[in-house]
Structure 1
Amino acid sequence: MTATIVTIFTLVYLGMILGGLPLLQLDRTGVALLGAIALIGLDAVSLPQAVAAVHLPTVILLFSFMVVSAQMRLGGFYGWATRGMAALPLSPPQLLGLLIVMAGALSAVFSNDIVCLAMAPVLVQACLQRRLNPVPFLLGLACAANIGSAATLIGNPQNILIGQTLRLSFSGYLLQAIVPVLLGLAACWAIIVWQSRGDWAGTAPVLPATEQRSDEPPLDRWQSAKGLAVAAVLLGLFLFSPLPQAQLALTGAGLLLMSRKLHSARMLGLVDWEVLVLFAGLFVVNHALQSTGLPAEAVSWLAAQGVRLSEPWTLFGTTFALSNLISNVPAVMLLLPVASHELAGSMLALVSTLAGNLLIVGSIANILVVDAAARHGVRIDWRRHARTGVPVTLATLLICAAVFALRF
């Protein structure tokens, strides 16, 4: 049975690398789900074992904050904030700076993917109306959302997984992450401003009024205030209360679902179910491989060769490489068993998130921004993204490494 498990695991992670499997209409989520189904169907993992393998607190916390973020989007908060920011009489570098701060702050609390999904279309239209080149601002949005989401243990899926699995202190992680994140946002702004000097003017035609409308709902002050209030209370409890975070977040999501105006179908329609299924599938696949004992043997063999994955700098480099090879969530799942150093959890969270800016496929937030731009006639290919993403990634990782070196 070990050979069967290894074969399925290999195929699943090949799918993580390729984004699917040849000849099959599967994306990464489909590959992970099919792998879990195959393991259960072949009795390599029993159904009770598969259920036990799914780390429920992680899934619950992730789901709950997706609901909170959906509340903010349906309340029109993201679109209202983006339009208000773009209307300010600021120079392009100043506008970019404000955008980076806002995107980073929102992504630290709400899902960075939903923040980009909601803000990108409005940002494109605002830039075209002001006859500004939207590309630097869109790249700033994507990079800042990724960097900002690294600030907390609820900013993105992999951080939620790390925080819940390693039982990290929410406030303790925030104190460790805030300096590299703030410096990373500043570096992101400086790099984009330097690259865009003299190239702020837009060349695309201004869209007709009929095409300038966004799918974003208008601002509903009450619904937005409800979402902000629940998020603020949850943050306060996470920082100062010993109560279980998953239970608190689920209660908050339940309160928001009890609405007389926003139908639950609309709220749940904005939940990223594919991410939840991806997590469940990978939990089962990784559990099956761990049960064979092979990962422990591989780690011991590498240690005998002088490569100790538990050592900080080896973990740093391995996290960066795997995050760009197989995506950050699968990379984190593979590396969590060797995250034994006292700063390993923080390093794993920061590096796996910051690595997402390197290429378009490095994070869902990048893909969402590029797709939104394309729908409005603004093209950002992989070369243009890499021109900004590569230096931003290297700069933020260098900052992160320097901060960790001081702590060691």
Structure 2
Amino acid sequence: MQLPSMEALRANATAIVAVAIFAGTYLVIAVGKLPGYHLDRAGAALLGASLMVGAGVMSLDQAYRAIDFDTIALLFGMMIVVANLRLSGFFRLVNGWVVTRARHPLVLLTSIVLVAGALSAFLVNDTICLVMTPLVLDLVTRLKRDPIPYLLAIAMASNVGSTATITGNPQNMIIGGLSHIPYGSFAGALWPVAAVGLFLTALLIAFIHRGEFFTREHFPAAVAGPVRYHRPLVVKSSLVTVAMVILFFAGQPVAKVAIVGGALLLFTRRLKPEKVYSEIDWTLLLMFVGLFIVVAGLEATVLTQEVVERIGRLHLDAAPVLSLITAGLSNLVSNVPAVLVLKPFVANLQDPERAWLLVAMASTLAGNLTLVGSVANLIVAQRARSHGVTLGFWAYFKVGAPLTVLTILFGAWWLQSAVG
């Protein structure tokens, strides 16, 4: 019997270390923090990445090359743009102009769904939830309405609407960078899924909360107070945003457009840069960097071509199978880590472009399953709690569960039959 060589033993030991680091990192990400320690998801990703280098799984140079700087630049640029829109009062203007013109609860619900969905399609959905939640809460409180269905509308519509484009949410940004699918092609394939999803969102919320919406009661003609905004900054931010979207659809590299657009908005006499920087989600950027390295370490040592091909035999080319795996993994470890761990398998499928679209669709829509299914949901719940309103798990789940199943089923069918 021939004993394994020292090189083989070393390779096996490295693979075991890589698996242990990967599993530990993803466990903390799934739980949310390390019990007994102040280690959050971003810290776990950074620690995992550092251990991959420190344990010799990969060199520092390999770690640098594993980071997708296009995705980081895209996300950073969009954060700057959204920060300027928020600080200028743009979202307050949109909310005041559209939502407060509703004179009936069902019209108000539809308006919130459309506004949250449309804005999330082009801007990061987490931010839309951050700015819309207090505005809508203030409105429905003055109208003496039940705030729960309207909070559900913000969270669920922002998730659904963000499905439509590469800039809608962080996981789509990663997929855009990994797949190199043009912005227009991505939107062309997924906007019908988002449109049907928004319709189903309004329908299910109205059906489950029938007492709130199927009424003859109408709102008073004037319910909104004066809107505070900075006109020059609103105009400048809006023009830059529109120009960016046009360039996205024109085929310009999205990372380049986003970072240039963000940098141009920093050139101003009206807004201190510190205010913009305070709006940046630095922990999310840090988590991205760490996860790129952690997944690359596992891929280099464990996910050999043979292993990838063996797992690929699980019919991942079938839309229902890939959608189900993506949705399950997204709810287990969150959508961004799920997308990264699926990367080596999707890249080797027969039609990787359609597979990436399926992953984008399922990972985003899966966020509507439970209250903890996406960061956007948690933002709505936390902002509502600070205003004395509790959005409970069951109140969310009884709408989110059927919505998730219906939207993912439609998305899988659409991408399987109409895209390819």
- The alignment's TM-score, normalised by the length of structure 1, stands at 0.92
SS at 1:360 equivalent? coil
- 1:15-40 CA-to-partner distances (Å, cap 9, x unmatched) read 12211222221221111111112222
* Structure 2 residues without counterparts, runs of 5 or longer: 1-13, 215-223
Among 88, 100, 109, the alignment partner of 2:113 is 100
State the distance in 2 between where 1:109 and 1:262 align. Answer: 23
Among 115, 129, 154, the alignment partner of 1:116 is 129
Aligned residue in 2 for 1:205 = none
Aligned residue in 1 for 2:355 = 344
> Is the Cα contact below 8 Å between 2:28 and 2:34 reproduced in 1?
yes
State the distance in 2 between where 1:28 and 1:226 align. Answer: 35
> Is the Cα contact below 8 Å between 2:308 and 2:344 reproduced in 1?
no
State the distance in 1 between where 2:81 and 2:135 align. Answer: 21
* Structure 1 residues without counterparts, runs of 5 or longer: 202-211
> Is the Cα contact below 8 Å between 1:101 and 1:144 reproduced in 2?
yes
Residue 89 of structure 1: how far off its partner (Å): 4.2
> Is the Cα contact below 8 Å between 1:310 and 1:338 reproduced in 2?
no
Aligned residue in 1 for 2:148 = 135
Residue 318 of structure 1: how far off its partner (Å): 0.8
Aligned residue in 2 for 1:384 = 395
Among 378, 392, 411, the alignment partner of 1:400 is 411
> Is the Cα contact below 8 Å between 2:102 and 2:111 reproduced in 1?
no
State the distance in 2 between where 1:266 and 1:142 align. Answer: 26
Among 22, 28, 53, the alignment partner of 2:66 is 53
Aligned residue in 2 for 1:184 = 197
**16-25 vs 115-124, greater mean Cα deviation:** 16-25
Residue 258 of structure 1: how far off its partner (Å): 0.7
SS at 1:362 equivalent? coil
Residue 176 of structure 1: how far off its partner (Å): 0.7
Larger radius of gyration: 2
Matches within 5 A, 1:230-269: 230-241=240-251, 243-269=252-278
Is 1:173 paired with 2:186? yes
State the distance in 1 between where 2:97 and 2:244 align. Answer: 26
Amino acid at match of 1:276: L
Among 69, 82, 87, the alignment partner of 2:100 is 87
Among 2, 6, 14, the alignment partner of 2:27 is 14
> Is the Cα contact below 8 Å between 1:85 and 1:95 reproduced in 2?
no
Aligned residue in 1 for 2:322 = 315
- 1:24-79 CA-to-partner distances (Å, cap 9, x unmatched) read 21221111111112222333322222111110001000100011000110001112
> Is the Cα contact below 8 Å between 1:83 and 1:126 reproduced in 2?
no
> Is the Cα contact below 8 Å between 1:29 and 1:275 reproduced in 2?
yes
- 1:241-286 CA-to-partner distances (Å, cap 9, x unmatched) read 3x32211211111100111011111111111111111100000101
> Is the Cα contact below 8 Å between 1:132 and 1:200 reproduced in 2?
no
Amino acid at match of 2:409: L
Matches within 5 A, 1:256-335: 256-294=265-303, 296-303=305-312, 306-335=313-342
> Is the Cα contact below 8 Å between 1:192 and 1:388 reproduced in 2?
yes
State the distance in 2 between where 1:333 and 1:253 align. Answer: 26
Q: How many pairs are equivalent?
A: 393
State the distance in 1 between where 2:201 and 2:58 align. Answer: 45
State the distance in 2 between where 1:377 and 1:164 align. Answer: 40
State the distance in 1 between where 2:165 and 2:372 align. Answer: 22
- The alignment's TM-score, normalised by the length of structure 2, stands at 0.89
- 1:314-333 CA-to-partner distances (Å, cap 9, x unmatched) read 21111111011110000000
> Is the Cα contact below 8 Å between 1:40 and 1:50 reproduced in 2?
yes
Amino acid at match of 1:259: T
Aligned residue in 2 for 1:29 = 42
What is the root-mean-square deviation of aligned Cα atoms in Å? Answer: 1.9
1:297–1:17 distance in 2 versus 1, CA, 3 Å: farther
Identity among equivalent pairs (%): 36
SS at 1:198 equivalent? helix
> Is the Cα contact below 8 Å between 2:311 and 2:345 reproduced in 1?
no
Residue 297 of structure 1: how far off its partner (Å): 4.0
- 1:328-355 CA-to-partner distances (Å, cap 9, x unmatched) read 0000001122223231111111111011
Amino acid at match of 1:294: L
